[in-house]
Each structure stands twice: as structure tokens, then as C-alpha cells.
């Protein structure tokens, strides 16, 4: 079963990569942002399985994005692979440091503390002139190991990059879910006392999850900064974090692919809604979430599970 | 050979003294029954040994190592495991998944590489299946733990505590919430599953008949301290135990 899932994932990946040049430019851009944000959502899925919902994941998203923007602006670095790796690493290091505090909290206290931390960064970004203040700043065009495309060619290259990073992250996280640390997520949510009395440090397990989610959010932020070619403090604002939580609920914690499909559906619905009824797009998004919660309480991902389970029952 | 030794153990909560002046040694592979009325300090005693509570005074040693006040997970890793009065299981997992989680978790020694090994290794699955068979809960393998009857829940809790091959096992009221008729059955399953494991067992129990049948030694708690300590026949016949704990001075057959 798991090899079949991987096969379906690989086919979807190749199909998306191959179809990109034939797709309209707006759809490629939309998918690029959607998958970059999907990486952040994947990190939230890792935490959500353990019963943790951070309302401040934009902290790591913004760190990834600003790392890319600052290095390209002040150091003149252009290589996307290097920039994205540093963005992810920077977010991972911050996640490791704040993790010592965050891993000790649960439920609403965890959510609010993470929100508070992201708002501290927001405050710093808004007040600091060298960091671009409220306007943020432009991210210089990027190069891929020396190759520096422009226009639609750049957009396509960025799409392929985001797609490849997403595919690798999806594979690694699906492997992680089968490890002891990953598979003990539901036990963490269910009963910490039993885990402690099996000799497990729950805080350390959660700390690891925080770092993983932080790295993924940093990756997403770094790629988003390249895709939009701009960063601003709103990337650290709590509504950005709220958006990620929204998509996580829409996607569900059931599967790795759901994070990306959910993120894509979210961006698609939003852009269509903004296009059709500019004043009411929030209403439409809200209704979509409401309908999802009512009819697919385990998120969009549960559709795949249902499809996958039915042939198994027959065989 | 003494495996567990306790000296002058005391626990106070504010002005309330929950446990006081407990000094005793437990030889390896002994089965100790702990009796006493509610509030006598039995669970507090167990909570201190397993690191759930820090003693206010006194020391606890596992062989020659002082483990007083250690965190529970460190004590568990040294080989002191426990079950709970309220079974501590993972309700949203199946019985089999519960056992796999317990087997994998107790096989860790904190090393990062072990944490990143697959949870369902062949060794883990075999350990889980063996434990389910031994505790006779294999028929419930696929059932969600939240749907289990009380007796099975208790057995699962104990099986999870034992799967990591501890050296000392503390059972806090293994038969509470189980009907009088089933108590012996459950204890039979537990004790036969533990047999051949060279395990030191301390169990809290209200039913004197259960204690008399399964314990090598009885500790009678009253008002935070041990008032009788010895072979079941002697300890249960102690006049103070009969008046203060079993509540039946005549025949010693009181049901809790």
C-alpha cells in the first residue's frame, strides 16, 4: 500500500512538472505559492497530529523569507539553492531555540505563546528601517547554479524548484511518520502520562516536531519570497499564521499529500473568489471551510483515504 | 538480594502528612501486596517510587543507586515500571497499536537514531503480539482502546507497562473497577503472564482474598505508615490490620 501511495505521488509530481509549460502563467504562479505554503501546512500537520496547533507559525515563514531577501539585498547572493537552504536553516535554528520554551506548553497556551513570538518578530520588522519597515523590500531576481532566467522562464524554474522541494519534503515526512518519533504523535495527544512512564520525554518529542515544522515553514517562506519577489512584515503577522491553520483544517492531518492539495484548493478558491466577487471572497472561503468541516471532518485528505480504502476492502 | 530499599520515606502536602516513616527492603522477585483503606498512603508511596511525586524526606534506592526524586521517565528506563488505578492507555489507537507504541517506546534509550528507526519493526511487532497473547487480550487486537471493557483496559495497561521487560513492576489497584467474580480471573492472567519473568511485583489491592492468594508478603498501610509487614497469613491476622483495614475482626474475609 505504501509503495502504491509513493507511486501515485511520484506520478502526480511528474505530471505537474510536465504540464507546467502548457499551463497559463497565472496558474503556474498560483501553484508555486500554493505549494510553498503547502510546506508550512505540512509542518502544521506534523504538530497537529500531536494535538498542537501553533497560531504563530508565520514566525518561521517570515524568517525563511527575510533570510533570502536580506542575503540577496545586502550580500548580493543570488543562488536559489543556497538562499533556500539558509532560509530553512535559519528558521530551524530559531525553532530549536524557542522550542526549549514552547515544548513545555500545550493547548491554548502553546497556541498563544507561539502567536506572541511571531508578533514580536512582526513588531521588530515593522520598526526596523534596515529590515524594510512596513513596506518590506524587493527580492532581486535569482539564479539557478549560474543560470539566471527572466519572465515566464523564471516563473517556471521557480515552480519546478518548489515542486521538487515539496516532493522531497513529502517523502521525508511520510517516512518520519513511520518512525518511533513520528508515530508517537497520537500517543502524545492521547496520554502523556503513559508515555512518560514508558521512559519517553514528551517535551523532547515535541521539541523535535517543532524543529521539523520550523524548517518546513522556513523552506516555505524562502520559496514564497522568491516566487513573489517581495517580502513584508505581513509574512509574520498573525493573520498569516491563521491562514496556515485554516488550510491545515481544510486539508486534514490524514496524509502528507493533503497539505499540498489543501493549499492548492485554498489558493484556487481564493483567487477565483477574489476575481468573481471581490468584496465577498472571505465569505466564500469561510463557507468552503464550513462545508469541509461539516461533510469532511477529517479534511480534504480523507477523500483519498476513502478512495484508497474501498479497493482494499474488495481485494 | 535486596532490589528496592526505602529509608524514612515521607511525603507531606502542605500540613497534611500523606506518608511517613517508611523504611523497608524488598528482595528481588518477591510479590508484595499492599493493603490499606482509601487515603492510607498506598498510591502516594507508589507515586514516590516511580517518580510521579518527589518525596519530602527519605531515600529510595534501586539496588545501590539512589533514585530519590528522579523524573519518572529516568526511573522507568532503569527498570521500574507501573500500571495505574485508572488505566493509562492511548484511547484513539487500537489495542495492537497501543502495544506497538509501548514496545517501541520502551525499547528506546534516548538515542536520536533509535527515535528515527521505524516504529513497526519486525521485533516490535513480535513483542507486541507476544504480549497480547500472554495477557490474553489478542482477541481485542483491532479494537479501539476507547471501546474496551474495564477488565481488558486494565490488562492492556499492565501489558504496556511490562512489555519493556522491567525489573520491578508496581500495580496500582489492578482489579479496581472489575466485578468481584472477575477479579481472580484478571489476577490469574496477570500473575501467570508475569511468571517466568523474574520480576519483583508490588501491587495495591483492596480484596484480602486476592492479596492472600497472590502475595508472598503483605504491607498494611494505615494513616500514612506501615502497621504490619510480613507473610500474608501473619499480616492479615494482625489484630490492628483486622480492625483498621479489613474491618472484619472475626473471619478476615471482608470484601472491599
Report chain A residues whose CB lies below 8 A from the CB of B86: none
Q: Is A184 on the interface with B (CB under 8 A)?
A: yes
Is residue A173 domain-resident? yes
Put simply, whether A12 touches B (Cβ < 8 Å) is: no
Is A265 a member of any domain? no
Residue at A307 is within a domain = no
Distance from CA of A310 to the nearest CA of B (A): 18
H-helix or E-strand spanning residue B77: helix B72-78
Residue that finishes a domain, picked among B131, B165, B199: B165
CB contacts of B118 in chain A (<8 Å) are: 178-180
Furthest-apart CA atoms within chain B: distance in Å:
61
Can you give the three-state secondary structure of chain A, one letter per residue? CHHHHHHHHHHHHHHHHHHHHHCCHHHHHHHHHHHHHHHHHHHHHHHHHCCCCCCCCHHHHHHHHHHHHHHHHHHCCCEHHHHHHHHHHHHHHHHHHHHHHHCCCCHHHHHHHHHHHHHHHHHHHHHCHHHCHHHCEECCCCEECCECCCHHHHHHHHHHHHHHHHHHHHHHHHHHCCEHHHHCHHHHHHCHHHHHCCCCCHHHHHHHHHHHHHHHHHHHHHHHHHHHCEECHHHHCHHHHHHHHHHHHHHCCCCHHHHHHHHHHHHHHHHHHHHHCHHHHHHHHHHHHHHHHHHCCCCCHHHHHHHHHHHHHHC
Closest CA to B185 of B221, B149, B234, B237: B149
Q: Point out the domain boundary residue: B144, B165, B186.
A: B165
Q: Say yes or no: B114 and B176 in one domain.
A: no
Same domain, B16 and B127: no
In the predicted structure, residue A305 carries a pLDDT above the cut 90 = no
CA-to-CA distance for A296 and A290, rounded, in angstroms? 10
How high is the pLDDT of residue B88? Answer: 93
> Is residue A312, in this structure, part of any structural domain at all?
no
In a domain, B2, yes or no: yes
Q: Is residue B84 part of a domain?
A: no
**Does the CB of A152 have a partner CB in chain B at under 8 Å?**
no
Percent of chain A at pLDDT > 70 equals: 96
Total of domains in chain B: 2
> Is B158 strand, coil or helix?
helix
Q: Give the nearest partner residue to B72 out of A184, A196, A208, using CB atoms.
A: A196
Q: What is the number of domains present in chain A?
A: 1
The CATH number of the domain holding residue B51 is 3.40.50.300
- Residues B178, B254, single domain; the answer is yes
A197-208 pLDDT per residue, tens = 998 889 999 999
CB contact under 8 A, B115 and A208: yes
Residue A222 domain flag: yes
Q: Is residue A9 part of a domain?
A: yes
Are residue B175 and residue B232 in the same domain, yes or no? Answer: yes
Please choose, from the candidates A82, A90, A57, A31, the residue with its C-alpha nearest in 3D space to the C-alpha of residue A268.
Answer: A31
Rounded mean pLDDT, B85-102: 93
Chain A CA closest to residue B166: A198
* Least confident range of A32-41, A101-110, B56-65, B100-109: B100-109
Q: In b/e form, how buried is each residue of A43-70, taking b as 16+ CB within 10 angstroms?
A: bbbbbbbbbbbbbbbbbbbbbbbbbbbb
**Is B85 domain-assigned?**
no
B151 and B183, same domain (yes or no): no
Expressed as residue numbers, the domain containing B95 is: 91-165
Please say which residue of B124, B149, B165 terminates a domain.
Answer: B165
- Is B173 among the domain residues? yes
Name the residue facing B92 among A180, A190, A200 (closest C-beta): A190
Q: Which residues contact A173 (CB under 8 A, 6 or more apart)?
A: A42, A45, A46, A212, A216, A256
Residues B158 and B172 in one domain: no
Q: For residue A283, is it within any domain? A: no
Q: Is A261 inside any structural domain?
A: no
B86 inside domain: no
User: What's the mean pLDDT when you consider all of chain A?
Assistant: 89
pLDDT of residue A311: 53
Averaged pLDDT, B86-95: 93
Least confident of A110-124, A182-196, B223-237: B223-237
Q: Do B1 and B73 have their domain in common?
A: yes
Please check whether residues B186 and B60 belong to one and the same domain. Answer: yes
Find the mean pLDDT for residues A116-130.
90
Q: Is pLDDT above 60 for B203?
A: yes
With beta carbons under 8 A apart, name residues in chain A contacting B92.
186, 189-190
Does A157 score more than 50 pLDDT?
yes
Of residues B254 and B15, the one with the higher pLDDT is B15
Residue pairs between chains A and B whose CB atoms are closer than 8 Å: 88
Cβ contact, residue pair B119, A196, below 8 Å: no
The answer to whether A150 contacts chain B (CB < 8 Å) is no
Question: What is the rounded average pLDDT of the residues A77-81?
Answer: 89
Same domain, B112 and B124: yes
Give the per-residue pLDDT at A22. 86
Confidence band, pLDDT 50/70/90 cuts, at residue A315: very low
Q: Using one digit for the tens of pLDDT, what is the confidence trace for B222-253?
A: 988 998 888 988 888 888 888 777 765 544 44
Answer for the pair B141, B99: CB distance below 8 angstroms, yes or no: no
Q: Tens digit of pLDDT for each residue in A191-248?
A: 999 999 998 889 999 999 999 999 999 999 999 999 998 999 999 999 999 999 999 9
Residue A181, chain B, CB below 8 Å: the answer is: yes
Give the model's pLDDT for residue B247.
65
pLDDT category at A19 given cuts 50, 70, 90 is: confident
The reply to whether residue A181 touches residue B115, judged by beta carbons under 8 angstroms, is yes
C-alpha distance from residue A71 to each of A79, A138, A139, A151, B171 (Å): 10, 12, 9, 22, 59
CA distance B29 to B41: 23
Expressed as residue numbers, the domain containing A30 is: 2-240
Amino acid at each position: 500500500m505504501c509503495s502504491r501511495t509513493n507511486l501515485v505521488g511520484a506520478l502526480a509530481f511528474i505530471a505537474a512538472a510536465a504540464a507546467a509549460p502548457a499551463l497559463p502563467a497565472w496558474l503556474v504562479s498560483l501553484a508555486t505559492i500554493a505549494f510553498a505554503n503547502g510546506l508550512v501546512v505540512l509542518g502544521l500537520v506534523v504538530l497537529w497530529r500531536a494535538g498542537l496547533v501553533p497560531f504563530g507559525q508565520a514566525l518561521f515563514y517570515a524568517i525563511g523569507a527575510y533570510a533570502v531577501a536580506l542575503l540577496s539585498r545586502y550580500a548580493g547572493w543570488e543562488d536559489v539553492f543556497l538562499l533556500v537552504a539558509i532560509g530553512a536553516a535559519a528558521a530551524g535554528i530559531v525553532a530549536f531555540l524557542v522550542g526549549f520554551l514552547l515544548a513545555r506548553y500545550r493547548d491554548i497556551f502553546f497556541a498563544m505563546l507561539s502567536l506572541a513570538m511571531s508578533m514580536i518578530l512582526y513588531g521588530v520588522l515593522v520598526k526596523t528601517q534596515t529590515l524594510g519597515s512596513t513596506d518590506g523590500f524587493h527580492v532581486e531576481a535569482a539564479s539557478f547554479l549560474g543560470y539566471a532566467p527572466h519572465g515566464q522562464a523564471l516563473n517556471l524554474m521557480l515552480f519546478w524548484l518548489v515542486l521538487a522541494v515539496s516532493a522531497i519534503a513529502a517523502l521525508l515526512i511520510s517516512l518520519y511518520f513511520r518512525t518511533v518519533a513520528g508515530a508517537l504523535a497520537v500517543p502524545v495527544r492521547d496520554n502523556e502520562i503513559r508515555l512518560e512512564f514508558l521512559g519517553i520525554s514528551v517535551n523532547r518529542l515535541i521539541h523535535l516536531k517543532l524543529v521539523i515544522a520550523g524548517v518546513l515553514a522556513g523552506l516555505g517562506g524562502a520559496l514564497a519570497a522568491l516566487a513573489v519577489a517581495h517580502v513584508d512584515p505581513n509574512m509574520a503577522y498573525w493573520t498569516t499564521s491563521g491562514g496556515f491553520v485554516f488550510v491545515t483544517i481544510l486539508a486534514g492531518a490524514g496524509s502528507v499529500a493533503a497539505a499540498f492539495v489543501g493549499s492548492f484548493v485554498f489558493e484556487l478558491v481564493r483567487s477565483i473568489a477574489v476575481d468573481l466577487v471581490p468584496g465577498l471572497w472571505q465569505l466564500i472561503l469561510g463557507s468552503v471551510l464550513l462545508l469541509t468541516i461539516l461533510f469532511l471532518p477529517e479534511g480534504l485528505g480523507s477523500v483519498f483515504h476513502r478512495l484508497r480504502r474501498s479497493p482494499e476492502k474488495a481485494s | 538480594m535486596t532490589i528496592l530499599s526505602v529509608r524514612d520515606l515521607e511525603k507531606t502536602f502542605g500540613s497534611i502528612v500523606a506518608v511517613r516513616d517508611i523504611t523497608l527492603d524488598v528482595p528481588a522477585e518477591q510479590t508484595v501486596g499492599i493493603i490499606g483503606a482509601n487515603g492510607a498512603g498506598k498510591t502516594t508511596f507508589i507515586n514516590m517510587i516511580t517518580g510521579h511525586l518527589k518525596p519530602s524526606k527519605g531515600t529510595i534506592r534501586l539496588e545501590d543507586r539512589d533514585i530519590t526524586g528522579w523524573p519518572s521517565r529516568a526511573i522507568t528506563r532503569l527498570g521500574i515500571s507501573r500500571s495505574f488505578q485508572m488505566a493509562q492507555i492511548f484511547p484513539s489507537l487500537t489495542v495492537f497499536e497501543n502495544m506497538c507504541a509501548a514496545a517501541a517506546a520502551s525499547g528506546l534509550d534516548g538515542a536520536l537514531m533509535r527515535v528515527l528507526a521505524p516504529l513497526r519493526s519486525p521485533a516490535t511487532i513480535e513483542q507486541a503480539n507476544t504480549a497480547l497473547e500472554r495477557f490474553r487480550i489478542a482477541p481485542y487486537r483491532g479494537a479501539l482502546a476507547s471501546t474496551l471493557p474495564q477488565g481488558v483496559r486494565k490488562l492492556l495497561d499492565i501489558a504496556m507497562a511490562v512489555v519493556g521487560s522491567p525489573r520491578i513492576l508496581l500495580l496500582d489497584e489492578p482489579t479496581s473497577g472489575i466485578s468481584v467474580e472477575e477479579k481472580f480471573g484478571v489476577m490469574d492472567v496477570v500473575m501467570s503472564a508475569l511468571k517466568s519473568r523474574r520480576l519483583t511485583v508490588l501491587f495495591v489491592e483492596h480484596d484480602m482474598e486476592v492479596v492472600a492468594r497472590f502475595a508472598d508478603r503483605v504491607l498494611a498501610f494505615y494513616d500514612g505508615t506501615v502497621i504490619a509487614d510480613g507473610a500474608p497469613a501473619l499480616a492479615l491476622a494482625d489484630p490492628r490490620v483486622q480492625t483498621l483495614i479489613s474491618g472484619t475482626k472475626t473471619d478476615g474475609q471482608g470484601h472491599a
